[in-house]
Amino acid sequence: MKVTLYGAQIQGEWKWKFSLDFQVDVSYWLGGQERRVDRLVRILPELSVGQAVWLIENMAQSPLAVQPLASAKEELKRRIHKLPIGITTDSIQLELIESGNYDEIITRETIQEAEEVAKLIQGRSLLHEELQPMLGFHNLLMGKREIHRSIQLAYLQGWLEYGNGMDLVYRRQGWKRALGYRCRRCGTGESRMFWSECLHCGQACPYCEECLTMGRVRFCSLLVQGTRRMEDRPEIRSMDETAPLGGELRKHLQERWKLSPAQTEASLAGLEFLASHSSFGRQARNHELDQFLIWAVTGAGKTEMIFPLIEHELQRGRNVLVATPRKDVVLELMPRLKAAFPAYSIVTLYGGSPQKWEQGDITLATTHQLLRFHGYFDMAIIDELDAFPFHNNPMLQFAARKVLAEHGRTVFLSATPPLPMQKAAARKKLPHVKVPVRYHRHPLPVPVIIRTKRIQDYIKKQKLPSGLLNELQASLQREAQIFVFISRIKWVEPMVELLRQHFPDTVIEGTSSMDPLRTEKVILFRENKIGLLVTTTILERGVTVPRTDVFILNADAELFDEASLVQMAGRAGRSKDDPNGRVFFVAEDKTRSQAGAINQMKLMNRLARNKGYLVNSKEE
């Protein structure tokens, strides 16, 4: 799209801006009873958003003396000639604007329309091409010119912000200062920038490959971000004046949400964090402490623990985000949240969601959907922060930060927090609570190491090692279903065939991320129609069956880090009817990851026993 670049002289100082509808700016600055500027100068012809940003950046570093216009025009041409923005200097003109017709352009109706548009964009981060579909969804059927007028008027009123799709980033390169780009939507830098011909600026222009699935962000793209206005944040919406406090709160949490003692303690710690770090509270803000970690073992019932935190925020009129890496978890949580909070609106966002443009009290979303938000949520709950695709993904971690409103808080949920987060918690740099026991209050099954040859050896020999064979037989004899985790997809089918030879009476299947029937096989496994399932880390979380034993083959593989081993082991012992499921690390060598995973589970069991959370004091 094309925009108008102009300069406004305010109290002797020139400020350069670009406009989507210059008539609105002229009327705003020069119309009405009182002029807001000393002078207004525009540059002709219209430019692409990227070209305008280049020139604004240049004039910010070295102010352009506008008077006299003829000299300013020649200086502007010299600057343009040195910039990589694809403009022919012969066409450049500077025009002094003397007056504007305020009454015709800015009316009560156009201001009301701009306010309505700004309210719908509030907390969003949208590309130009997303504006019309979003407004149309809310029955604002506007043409592009009307949208531009409303966006421009809302911008001048301070109701929203806009800019181009990328920031210019300068960095030292030897003795020189090198220029780079960073995507303003996802925060990705030069490594994921690709160049192609741009229709807007007429030359090669960078776009971001990292967030391409959410729409193409170019240097020339327009990115509109709705700001969160304080008048839209009531302190109290529907807070129960009789809500329990102090000692009564513990009893209330257990009765209202059916929490175990360990879950209750975690919720209480979370509520204390929210109260003491509230933007409406008495404490001075310390942004390093605006994060809280719930470190809960697998199967601890973390969803139930966050319900009191969500309720706390909703009662105070605050917006809540629950973000999780996977669509299946979003769909699983949706009915549970609706049942828990029937009086509040809940929006569910994932790829292809019909609620893409809706607004709600609670937003339940996959982490990729956070890219379309900006400065909106008072509390963000990030579930499974250690899981793909959130884990080690700077783009999604950037998105999780930028969705927070000013003074917003983040609550992280994880059974296996990243090591830096564990260290921060140990040093008391990160407020946190540990939930060391599952909801059924039995200790975690501690893995046993079986020393054998590598999986490729017994696939080649078509014979299972005796130690592994005996334990598999023991699991089948106790009528447990079995997870067999392996590190490579190529071994799934050979391992399935080998196991079928040894256990012809057991239904054995294999699956991986490459399997088109993966969903169907998982359903059959859950229904106990498959007795043994060979799989990869694709099923290390999210699949729970009542009576399960876990075998991790080649547990010394580099792919199986400590967090992955803990998650896979966490498939066993989830049911109160079979809390002592068995876990085996089958490997040629014992690794630091194996030792770390075993130690972590033992430490959690010890902590649970010391706190009196276990149904008996015997550590199993």
Judge whether 107-227 and 247-435 match in fold.
Answer: no
pLDDT band at 238 (very low <50, low <70, confident <90, very high): very low
Provide the mean pLDDT of the chain.
89
Phi and psi angles of residue 394, each rounded to the nearest 5 degrees, phi first: -60, -35
Neighbouring residues of 184: CB distance < 8 A, sequence distance ≥ 6: 163, 164, 165, 166, 167, 217, 223
pLDDT at position 289: 64
Read off the DSSP letter of residue 185. Answer: T
Phi and psi angles of residue 426, each rounded to the nearest 5 degrees, phi first: -65, -30
Examine the pLDDT at 439 and tell me if it is beyond 70. Answer: yes
Spell out the domain ranges in the chain: 2-105, 107-227, 247-435, 448-610
Examine the pLDDT at 112 and tell me if it is beyond 60. Answer: yes
Examine the pLDDT at 232 and tell me if it is beyond 90. Answer: no
Examine the pLDDT at 594 and tell me if it is beyond 80. Answer: yes
Read off the DSSP letter of residue 505. Answer: T
Which residue has tokens 């917003």?
408
For residue 341, what are its two tokens? 């909070």
Share of the chain above pLDDT 90, in %: 69
Measured from the Cβ of residue 400, the count of other Cβ atoms closer than 10 Å reads 22
pLDDT band at 283 (very low <50, low <70, confident <90, very high): very low
pLDDT at position 249: 87
pLDDT at position 246: 58
DSSP secondary structure string, 334-396?
HHHHHHH-TTS-EEEESTT-TTTT---SEEEEEGGGGGGB-S-EEEEEE--TTSTTTTT-HHH
Q: 97, 41 in Cβ contact below 8 A?
A: yes
Mean of the pLDDT values across residues 171-193? 83
CA 206 – CA 532 distance, rounded (Å):
50
**Exposed / middle / buried, residue 253 (Cβ in 10 Å: 0-12, 13-18, 19+):** buried
For residue 27, what are its two tokens? 């009327």
pLDDT at position 237: 46
Examine the pLDDT at 501 and tell me if it is beyond 80. Answer: yes
pLDDT at position 345: 97
107-227: CATH class: mainly alpha
Q: Which range, of 15-29, 268-282, 314-328, averages the lowest pLDDT?
A: 268-282
Asked, as a colleague might, if the bond just before 516 is cis with ω within 30 of 0, I would say no
pLDDT at position 281: 44
pLDDT band at 280 (very low <50, low <70, confident <90, very high): very low
CATH architecture of the domain with range 247-435: 3-Layer(aba) Sandwich (3.40)
Per-residue burial over 413-432, b if 16 or more Cβ lie within 10 Å, else e, is: bbbbbeeebbebbeeeebbb
Helix (H/G/I), strand (E/B), else coil: 229: coil
More confident residue, 468 or 12: 468
Examine the pLDDT at 415 and tell me if it is beyond 90. Answer: yes
pLDDT at position 245: 53
CA 329 – CA 364 distance, rounded (Å):
10
Mean of the pLDDT values across residues 519-523? 94
**Radius of gyration of the chain from its Cα atoms, rounded to whole angstroms:** 30
More confident residue, 193 or 69: 193
pLDDT at position 314: 96
Q: 496, 534 in Cβ contact below 8 A?
A: yes
Cα distances (angstroms) measured from residue 345 to each of 6, 315, 359, 426: 43, 13, 8, 38
Examine the pLDDT at 298 and tell me if it is beyond 90. Answer: yes
448-610: CATH class: alpha beta
pLDDT at position 64: 82
Give 223's strand partners: 127, 163
Mean of the pLDDT values across residues 334-348? 97
pLDDT at position 36: 87
CA 272 – CA 283 distance, rounded (Å):
12
CA 302 – CA 366 distance, rounded (Å):
17
pLDDT band at 233 (very low <50, low <70, confident <90, very high): low
Q: 557, 593 in Cβ contact below 8 A?
A: no
> 0.95 exceeded by the pTM?
no
pLDDT band at 316 (very low <50, low <70, confident <90, very high): very high
Q: Provide the strand spans (E) within 218-325.
A: 222-226, 291-296, 320-324
Mean of the pLDDT values across residues 558-577? 94
Mean of the pLDDT values across residues 463-467? 95
Q: 390, 384 in Cβ contact below 8 A?
A: yes
Examine the pLDDT at 616 and tell me if it is beyond 80. Answer: no
Mean of the pLDDT values across residues 124-132? 96
Neighbouring residues of 7: CB distance < 8 A, sequence distance ≥ 6: 14, 15, 16, 17, 39, 40, 41, 42, 43, 59, 64, 66
CA 333 – CA 331 distance, rounded (Å):
6
